Structure 1
Amino acid sequence: MSRTRTALALGTAAAAALSLASFTASAAPLPAAGSTTVTPAGHDFKATLSGKATLKAGSVTVTCSVSVSTGTVPAAPGNQNAAGPVSSPISPPTYSSCTSSMWGVTPTVTTSGAWTVSMQHDSPITATMTVPVGGLVLRTSGLASCTVTAAPTAAANVGGTWANGAPPSLTFANASVPVKVTGGFGCPTSATSSTFNAVYLVTDTTDPAQQITVGP
């Protein structure tokens, strides 16, 4: 091989090695999540809807004015995670006093299964509510008979934010939830996701003088 061809080959190899190094560096894993501590450890809490909750699938919006869920902060040391979120089991949230944007239609929401909520300390503090498979079913009756099933094939993580305070709040703003819609005329059967909006105020029911707090 001539000197020119040798130099060209070496240059090409060097460029390839550099490109591979750059790709490897860019594909490096993200840093581990920071630490999270939820206090008071072992305390029970209650999350109560503030205002209204809305679930929008296609052109149909269901609005509920009453929703409640309860849970328990894990006992120590489970209320601390040095590199990630702290998760708490919660009761399936109840939804009542619901109305539909469709005239002549009455919605009913039922929930079931093992729900959880996890908190990750950050800025802002992130919250993730996990809906089990088929854990929320919305049915309408009247002029349109529809069934909307949330998390139809796999558990779904619904993203939100947590704000410490007196009381603290848990907010879901335009959170996406996978759904399956069945039914006849007027039902948004082409919708595969819904948008969830709600704000919950959280109280410490073990000791009402204290506040559930998420910290590092």
Structure 2
Amino acid sequence: MIYNPFDNSDDGGGTIFRDVIMLALMGFVVIVVLLLPHINPSKLKENIDVNPPGNVIVEIRWPDILDTDVDLWVQGPGDVPVGYSNKGGVLFNLLRDDIGHQGDVSKVNYENSFSRGIVEGEYTINLHLYRDGSGSLPIEVIVVVSVKENPDATTKRILARTVELTSVGQELTVFRFDLDKDGKLDAESVHDIYIPLRSGRSVR
């Protein structure tokens, strides 16, 4: 009998083997696709849970839908006011100066300042409404103050408040409060008696 290399009549076992391999490969691909959505959230959670830098952390948020420029101004003990026109002092730095939707692809309305260390004394937090491009007065702004006593400590929120800005050019004091050298808040020191920071350059 002459051997015919094109005769597949006896290749039943090979066909079954190929089918089993293909099914196993397809099953592996399906499992990988199903597992992918469960791999990324843990990574995202790690990023969210990372403590921000700085010791005294001041953050403000206002509605993202508004093309509005709200400015954060802060002043620490023995330091000059820090805000959009003076982004750094001895103690504080303004890390994000948000001017509304202009030049901001994220459309997130958010500003924050961080201190390098904790100095005992009075801290002042002000807001200033620089521009209202949306014509949506009043503007509600959430203000949060947190403290991290040392690099290994967790960040603790010590003050939070929602305030309204009612006119362009308005500046208001949200918080004035005292911290001790360890970052402990003196609850009896908290008040909001107005003191201007935006035009100030003096050290208190």
Greater gyration radius: 2
TM-score normalised by L of structure 1: 0.30
The structure with the greater share of residues assigned to helix is 2
TM-score normalised by L of structure 2: 0.31
